[in-house]
Amino acid sequence: MKILGTILFILTVSLLNAAPLRVLKNDTINDTHNKDFVYNVKKAQSSIIIDGVLDEPDWQAAQKAQPFYRVLPVDTGFAYQQSEVLMTYDDEALYMAFVFYDTVPGKRIMESFRRDFNFGNNDNFLSFFDTFLDQTNGFSFGISASGAKWDGTMSDGSAVNLDWDCKWEAETVHHDDRWVSEMRIPFKSVRYPSGGQRWNVNFSRLDLKTNEKSSWAPVPRQFPTASLAYTGVMRFDEPLPKSRINFSLIPYIYGSFANDYEFGDGAAYDKDFGFDAKIGFSSALNLDLTYNPDFAQVEVDQQVTNIDRFELFFPEKRQFFLENSDLFSGFGYHTVTPFFSRRIGLDAPVLAGARLSGKLGNDWRIGFMNMATRETSEHLARNFTVASVQKKVFTRSNFGFIFVNKEYLNQPDSTNLFNRVAGFDYNLASKNNFWEGKFFYHRSFQPGNPDKQYSQGARLEYQTKNIQVELSQTSVGENYCAETGYVPRTGYNFLGPEIRYLFVPNKKVVSHGIEVELENYFDPDYKKIEHIYTYSYMFEFQNRSSLEFGYQDSYVKLQKDFDPTHINNHSLAAGSSYRFGGAYINYMSPSKNLFNWQAEAAKGTFYNGNIQYIQGQLGYRFQPYVNLTMNFNYTDMDLPQPFEHTKLWLLGPKLDVTFSKNIFWTTFVQYNEQLDNMNINMRFQWRYQPVSDIYLVYTDNYIPGSWNSRNRALVLKMTYWLN
């Protein structure tokens, strides 16, 4: 397996040797695929009022970014619903104006006023800025038809992390034949090279009434319009303002009530304060500080019924960890990464932390994080340090190094508790985005330093409109230990080819095709211990609905005792082998419908018994004020004695009310039979100033059946952004 990984690594480097390494200067452009799409941004001669009315002289003089090209359902020709984008700037901010022509009868689709809206459920406009011309990292800003904002940081060439927020303004006005938006984005809210005059940019529009996605610089349909490899070019009249130290302070205060009825601790009242701070040393390098952070306002995770043998993954949502997060969490694979920020503060409160991240020059990025957690009755105080550096090579590729250190503080003299990981990653991305890949090697260090503390992987993918081929490989040693990472299993070798072929007839069925994914796991001696073979056929329809059906064949030789239900006192024995499989079908309705739904149903054998399940989500919106959803999962497992016939329900009704662009209320109820718990989480948010909020959060957990409360809490929190 390691030999295969080395071969893949050599092949990826060879593929890119044809792409010359360019040194970026003020007057050169690191060519994108759409380098001939150029927008000249003129400097404003007078003030711009953000009101959605384009009556200022600078808008009349601005160049129009038009026409827009179709991306979906097919990437041929011009968009049916056309759009225009105008830009100007001054010494403080970038201004954008959008005109979205709408001549199709019917209401515009707008789910709610909530910030960072669901892209597929709204008519919307998005912009993507590659400020350092590396076609890998950037910023995204957008607006929905309701006027809801979208902002996020970009990494890996197209991924957008929407949990990042910054200060900016936007207003939207509706007319019979169009809707118009204006934006003002302060330069201090984004990172860019001081004195530069060029960014890469693209604009994307989703119009659900015509089921059409379009962009200014054309993008092949197999890629997202966020793909920075297909951006056009922005030229500013004059060099952008030089950076200066920017300082933002975000203090918070909170008070809380809690009562844990199960442990009988009685009512507890608490009050505290803390702060976050942001220091921009330059327009490219940022220092984040936090003291006594509180994350009570973070949205709760959506629960799932767990029938897997390994730990589940839940994404990071805490604001402090998000900007440039790929510098820390982007190493390795999703299934074996040396750093997973949710490990910090999971079992003990965070005392304080600092995070330095950003660019040094055109080709280098750095990241440094240091966090300390408090001592509790169960855990010593701990210090977490992460350091990384990334160097851009060739056109869009990079290599990086990471070091992670977890140190226990105030240890007894007889102990030496620590965990460290060091590693190297190479990320491949070809100029046209058709080739992608990765190679990595990581090693852990811990007391005693046993052998086989490595994790290594390689992946190579080729993707066009019709065909996608991927080969991935992983090897993880038995003693590899990344306590601050996400490594659900160790002591295995993995090989996984995958191929998909799509026909694109451009009719009522826009595309259809077959996919085969073969996942193979081997023990350290390369004896097979597991495989998951998935054969599927998929259809994408013109109304943006989709249908997929297939068959999954599985084989497992258990390495540890395992209870598939997670609720019995019985287990399948380690060393026993099972071959099982079943058929499934998945359907997703059109997002534009007020009532929309998606569901997956499956039936087959499961280990030494049988299983059937249905899961999905139902939704209805009273746009743009109320959005009702219901997550559901019903799992029926019938395993032979000594297991009992197990039927599990998981129901998650959610009510999301957006009274305005600044006032929101969410109630999320999750009834989980597998956990024998019902959780209620209610959150009220008032954004009384830009990025400044008052939260009122109520949480209660009940025992199903008796409906006695396990524990409940009420938190009032206020934050204010001083900038």
Query: CA-CA distance, 479 to 445, in Å (whole number)?
Result: 10
689-714 per-position pLDDT tens digit: 988 999 999 999 999 988 999 999 99
Q: Please check the confidence at residue 307 and state whether its pLDDT lies above 80.
A: yes
The pLDDT value recorded for residue 162 is 84
Strands 364-373 and 663-672 turn out to be unpaired
Highest average pLDDT, of 319-328, 410-419, 440-449, comes from: 440-449
pLDDT band at 445 (very low <50, low <70, confident <90, very high): very high
The pLDDT value recorded for residue 413 is 73
The pLDDT value recorded for residue 563 is 94
Query: CA-CA distance, 341 to 326, in Å (whole number)?
Result: 11
The pLDDT value recorded for residue 7 is 36
The pLDDT value recorded for residue 30 is 58
What is the average per-residue pLDDT within 392-419? 89
17-51 per-position pLDDT tens digit: 333 323 333 344 457 789 999 999 999 999 999 99
Q: What percent of the chain is predicted at pLDDT more than 90? A: 69
The pLDDT value recorded for residue 193 is 83
Apex 523 CA angle, 520 and 527, nearest 5: 75
**Domain residue ranges in the chain:** 31-236
Helix, strand, coil fractions of the chain, as percent rounded to 5: 5, 50, 40
Query: CA-CA distance, 409 to 460, in Å (whole number)?
Result: 42
Query: CA-CA distance, 145 to 164, in Å (whole number)?
Result: 21
- The DSSP 8-state label assigned to residue 229 in this structure reads G
Strands 350-360 and 364-373 turn out to be antiparallel
570-581 per-position pLDDT tens digit: 999 999 999 999
The pLDDT value recorded for residue 22 is 32
Higher pLDDT among residues 127 and 359, named by residue: 127
The pLDDT value recorded for residue 283 is 65
Question: Which stretch of DSSP H or E encloses residue 12?
Answer: helix 2-16
What is the average per-residue pLDDT within 100-121? 89
Strands 212-215 and 198-207 turn out to be antiparallel
Instruction: List, in sequence order, every residue forming a beta bridge with 684; answer none if it has no partner.
Output: 665, 696
Query: CA-CA distance, 392 to 403, in Å (whole number)?
Result: 19
Apex 147 CA angle, 146 and 149, nearest 5: 125
pTM of the model: 0.87
**CATH number of the structural domain 31-236:** 2.60.40.1190
Q: What percent of the chain is predicted at pLDDT more than 70? A: 95
What is the average per-residue pLDDT within 369-374? 94
Higher pLDDT among residues 283 and 484, named by residue: 484
- The DSSP 8-state label assigned to residue 294 in this structure reads -
Mean pLDDT (the chain) is: 90
Is residue 133 within 8 Å of 198, Cβ to Cβ? Answer: yes
